[in-house]
Each structure stands twice: as structure tokens, then as C-alpha cells.
Structure 1
């Protein structure tokens, strides 16, 4: 049985750990409010942008823009993997990394050479240990997500696709659905599929737009920005999901600390009672020996 001093030191140590996890949960909760507000404000813009691009792409020939053209021979695929820079957020990063590796194995099984472009240290470190190639990585950038970062990532893959250095581009990120649900999600960025076509051939346009100048001229400016918007949306989703996952993980850790403190306190009391009983037995034994 452990000594009273050892049990007491463990109780003190767990209590300090509880203070840390509780503080980290409060920090994650404060950051989550800002990140959640950003993604909720941005989603209507991204949805409307997607709708307009779908109407434009449906009115022009698929070969009118390089980003709408699907390469005849596919050899290389790039996966943009968006994770967090820090851990202590449960299985959040592990789920995104597993989704990225699953997608990479699927594309490699079809004969494509797969490489990763990582945003976030956790994804970068995981891909370095895998069998897939790691291209450009952006570490320590998820703490302050901004549109220039998304633009830099998007411009790199757009140039690679236009120069025929890439034949497919995918985005893997953590989708923020609610405080308790942040599943990994994957999206094919390039070649661009007309978003309006996903509803089916008989659905028809939702609205009739009048464009000036021509649709092909507008697509030259809007399609690259559309890719940037999708990447930025993925970054915002991952940032909000990270804080939600960390807050939940720290809440669970705090509850586990409470349970462990209760268990150790019970052990301390049992050890103390056993020590007192042992001392009483020694006193009674000594007294009986003196009488004899």
C-alpha cells in the first residue's frame, strides 16, 4: 500500500493538472466564439458564390477555361491537408489525417502519383512519416487564419494545374457542423465541376442571371477566386472545429481529474485508517507486553 505522502502528492499533482485543463478549456471556448462567428458569416457568401459559378459554368463550353478542363491523361494528384498546429484536441487531427491518407491510397490505387500540401504542423508531421511525398507546407499559421494564406495555397495549385503539373487537386479539412460534431471532409477542387450540375441534369438553374461582360470573360476572373474561397472556407471550418474539439477534450480531462481526485482521496483515507489501526495495534501490544 502506498504511503500517505505519496498519495497526497498525487492528489496535489492531479489538482494542478485540473487547473491547467480547465484554463485551456476556457481559452478554447473564448477562441471558439470568434472562429464560429467567422465561419457562420462566410458560409452564405461561399454558398452564393458557388451558385453563381455553377450558373456561369453551365452556360459555357467546358474547354473555355483551363480550370474547367479535365486532363485526358491523369498522372499526378495533390491533396491539400488542413489540420491544426497544436494537439490536445482529442482525435480531431487523427481523423483528418486518416481521411487524407485514405484518399491518397484510393488515388494511388488508380495509378496517380500523390503528393500533399499541408497547412498545419500536425498534418505535416504525419505526412513526413508516411509513404507519400510532401510538397509545400505551412506550419504555425492556423492560429491566425486569413484570406492571404488561402490565396497563397490556391494560387500554387492553380498554377500547377494550368501548367499540367497537376491533374487533380483535393481539399481535406475538418467540417464544423456543431459544438459536438466536426467530421473530416474531402472536396475535389480541380478540375472544377460545375456546382449546379451536382443537383442533377433535370434540376435546371435556380435563378436566371444577366451577365456583363460575357460568361467566358467573367470566368477568367471568378474561377481562380472560387478556388481561393473554397480553400478559405476549409481553413475557417478547421479552425472552428479545432477549438470545439479542444474545448470538449479539456472538459473531459477536467472531469477525469475530478474522478481521479475522488479515487485518490478514498485511497488516502483508507491508507490513513490502516496506518492508525497499525499504530493502535502496536500500542495495545506494547501495553499487554508491559502487563505480562
Structure 2
């Protein structure tokens, strides 16, 4: 059994770790609330622009714009991988990595190229056989719309230059504080769900024509898709880290309880040994 002083040092070390994990949990909870608020505020715009682009796309020919035209042969696929810059957030990053590797296995006939958004994804996938077209590893858990525009413009550039025949985003979709799901979203070419027009649905007359409007709106739609995906990922990161740090603090508490029990047993054993030594010494003197 370890000595009393060794156990005491271990208890102190685990208590210090527990203080850190509790502090990190509180910080993540505060940041998650802000990130979730930003994501919620952006969701209405995301839904509306998706509806608008879908409505106009239904009224034009599929080959009227390169963004709507699926290429006959898909040789190169660009994956925009959204992970965090920091760790200690449970399976948050590994879920995206697993989803990426699964996607690559399902599309073995294509050349997979990566745009890494977040340091953790780049650190792992950048060492694999994938070609990295671009990387963004310094956001630190926050992003502006202008920064997202830069990424979106790069994705469009890769598609228009035929560096990629398809562009997908892989990120964690925010379901709840403790639950995020790795998701693949096809960005280019646009694959909007076709829906039958309802009997009471309003038919709009566009001025200028829908084709001209689509040319202006589609780049904004793509940029906002990137922006919203990153907002979801940031909220999910803080939520996952908050849960991970809460679990770590609970586990530290259990370790402290076990070490304290061991410490008490060791101390009691030492006291009993000292008493026996005194009794044996007294008996030896009397004898």
C-alpha cells in the first residue's frame, strides 16, 4: 500500500485538477449560451434564404447556372471539414474525422481534397493521404460573417476552376447541449429538394428574371451556409466541452473519495502499528 504522504499528494493533485475542470465547465457554459444565441438568430435567415433560392431554382432550367448543373463525371470532391482549434471536448472532433473517413471510403473512385476549418481536423487528416487545398486554424471558437465569406468564396473558386466537381461540408449539427451529430451537407452543385407547389402557394413575378437574381443570391447562399455551419459547430464545441468537463469533475470527485478512503485506511494502519510497537515495548520492559 502507498505511503500516507504519497496518497495525500495524489489527493491534492486530483483536487487541483477538479478545480480546473469545474472552471472550464463554467467558461464553456457561458460561451455556449452566446454561441447558441448567435446560431438561433442566424437560423431564421438561413431558412429564408434556402426557401428563396429553392423557389427560384424551381423556375429556371437546371443548366442555366454552373451552381445548378451536376457534372457528368465526379473526379474530385472537396470536403470542408469543420472542427475545433482546441481539444478537451469529448468525441466532438473525432465524430467529424470518422464521418470524413467514412465519406472517403464510400467515394473511393474520387480524389478527396480537404479545406480544413479548425486545427484539430487539420492535425489529424492533414497527415493522411488527402490533399489539403486550404486551412483555417486560427478562429479560436468564434467567427465573423466576413471570415466565413472568405471561406465560401474559396470553395466557389475551387468549384469554378474545376479543382472540385462537388463541394461538401462536414460538421457537427447542434441538436442540444449534450448531443451533436456529424453531418454531411452538399454545397455545390446545389441540390435543393424539389417540392410540389401547394394549391394556395403564391407565384411571384421576378424582376429582373429569376436567372439573374440567382446569380446574385447563390454566392450569398453558399457563404451563409458556411457561416451557419461554423456557428452550429462552435455552439456544439462549447456544449460538448461543458459536458466533458462536467464528467471529468465528477470522475475526479470519485477518485478523491477512493483516495481518501485509502488514505484513512493507511493512516489507521500506521496508528495501529505504532500502538502495537508501544504495547510490545512496554511488555518487553515489564518482562
TM > 0.5 between the two?
A: yes
Q: Is the partner of 1:130 in helix, strand or coil?
A: coil
Moved more, 16-25 or 207-216: 207-216
What are structure 1's unaligned runs of at least 5 residues?
none
- The CA RMSD over aligned residues, in Å, is 1.5
Q: What does residue 220 of structure 2 align with?
A: 225
Aligned mates of 1:224, 1:206 — CA distance in 2: 26
List aligned pairs for 1:3-152, cutoff 5 A: 3-107=3-107, 109=108, 111-152=109-150
Structure 2 residue 197 is matched with structure 1 residue 208: no
Q: Deviations over 1:244-278 (max 9, x none)?
A: 00000011111111111111111110000000111
Q: Deviations over 1:182-219 (max 9, x none)?
A: 111110111111x241x5x5778954333211100001
What secondary structure, in the 3-state scheme, does the structure 2 residue paired with 1:175 have? strand
Residue by residue, what CA displacement relative to the aligned partner does 1:94-124 show, whole Å, maximum 9, x if unpaired?
A: 01111112112212x2x11111100000000
Asked if 2 retains the 8 angstrom alpha-carbon contact of 1:196 and 1:205, the reply is no
Q: Distance in 2 between matches of 1:206 and 1:229?
A: 26
Counterparts of 1:142-221 in structure 2 under 5 Å? 142-193=140-191, 195-197=192-194, 199=195, 207-221=202-216
Runs of 4+ off more than 3 Å: 201-207
In structure 2, the gaps of 5 or more residues are: none
Give the Cα–Cα distance (whole angstroms) in 2 for the partners of residues 130 and 106 of structure 1: 17
Say yes or no: does 1:268 pair with 2:266: no
Deviation at 1:131, TM superposition (A): 2.1
2:276 to 281, 285, 289: 281
CA displacement at 1:143 relative to structure 2: 2.3
DSSP 3-state at the match of 1:176: strand
Change (3 A) 1:266 1:164: same
Q: How many residues align?
A: 287
Q: CA separation in 1, counterparts of 2:202 and 2:271?
A: 83
Q: Which moved more, 1:128-137 or 1:268-277?
A: 128-137
State the Cα distance separating 1:30 from its structure 2 match. 0.6
Cα distance in structure 1, aligned partners of 2:198 and 2:76? 33
Query: d(CA) in 2 for partners of 1:181 and 1:72?
Result: 38
TM-score (norm 2): 0.96
8 Å Cα contact 1:119-1:142 kept in structure 2: no
Residues 67-107 of structure 1: CA deviation (Å, up to 9, x unaligned) = 11111222111000000000000111101111112112212
- Would you say the 8 A contact 1:58–1:196 is kept in 2? no
Distance in 2 between the 1:213 and 1:148 partners? 27
